[in-house]
Amino acid sequence: MKRYATRSVGGDAPDGSADGSPVAQLKHLLDVPAEACFLGFALTHSGTGDYLCLAPDRPQAALCSWSDAPDRAVFFRNWSDTLQAAAARPEADIVLIFDVGDALLVFPAR
């Protein structure tokens, strides 16, 4: 399992990005290495910090549970899908997760 770090959003990053894509702009603003892979948006439980994941012991993949491991999270690639999922779970906060090879970096989305 990869180690992970939760990082706060910094405010002093200079403007601009390598290729101008939304993901490249996010990496730049959050000071994430350009070679990092954006895994997607995920939901965390505001009380425990656990990540919304698929329940492995349930017969239907639509049934979800919470896990403390970010690599087990359900990843959303689309912001509107993420907002819709978060609206259905008022106890959830939205985060962004990047894979930097040996670690996952987690940032609050708001």
Is the pLDDT score of 97 beyond 60? yes
Predicted TM-score (pTM) of the model is 0.77
Q: What is the mean pLDDT of residues 70-83?
A: 93
Average pLDDT of the segment spanning 33-48: 95
How many helices (DSSP H) and strands (DSSP E) are in the chain?
A: 2, 6
Angle at 36 between CA 77 and CA 15, to 5 degrees: 90
Question: Could you list the residue range(s) of the whole structural domain that residue 104 is in?
Answer: 3-108
Residues 65, 73: contact at Cβ < 8 Å? no
Give phi and psi for 56, each to the nearest 5. -70, -20
Q: Which residue has the higher pLDDT, 57 or 36?
A: 36
Structural domains in the chain (count): 1
